[in-house]
Amino acid sequence: MTSKCSIEIAVNEKHYEGLVEPRTSLADFLRDQLGLTGTHLGCEQGVCGSCTVLFNGETVRSCLLLAVQANGGRILTVEGLAAKANAGEPLHLIQQGFIETVGFQCGFCTPGFLMTAYELLNENSSPSEDDIRERMSGNLCRCTGYQNIVAAVLWAAARLRAQANR
């Protein structure tokens, strides 16, 4: 009765096909079937934000979206973010910001923060500290106390702006 469904999705601009049980979340599909373990599953109930990815250009909780619902869609994960780095750089400026300011400790929540920051900086290249705190309030970090996460996004925003003006 719970026969598998075939899905086709573009993850990080690469085409994938797969067979999934309807109850498989997008997060589990990415991790278990595609081996993209950069997306982390924390609470599995939409609270912690660790599993945040972009679905058709918007942030979503990948624990609260069934893989079958993502059929035909475009996904961007943290692995795809690194692929958008400047030529010759291993990481995106947002990721570099987290390293520069020590915006993570254990790193479990970091992929979710990175994807949330990526969406924010696409919409607003000069966010204030308040804008960043408001946007990041849906992601939980149990290590850092958030100060350096905010600093990381400010660091990245400044460099992305400088790059755009060059």
Question: Which is nearer to another protein, 18 or 138 (by Cβ)?
Answer: 138
Q: Nearest approach, Cβ of 118 to another protein (angstroms)?
A: 12
**Cβ closer to another protein: 25 or 148?**
25
Interaction of residue 76 with another protein, rule CB under 8 A: no
Binding string to another protein for residues 122 to 151, with x set by CB under 8 A, is what? Answer: ------------xx-xx-------------
Using CB under 8 A, which residues numbered 83 to 122 contact another protein? 116, 119
| Tokens 């924390």 sit on residue | 42
Instruction: Please give the residue ranges that form the binding site for another protein (CB under 8 A).
Output: 1-2, 5, 21-23, 25, 28, 44-46, 49, 52, 55, 58-61, 63-66, 68-69, 116, 119, 134-135, 137-138
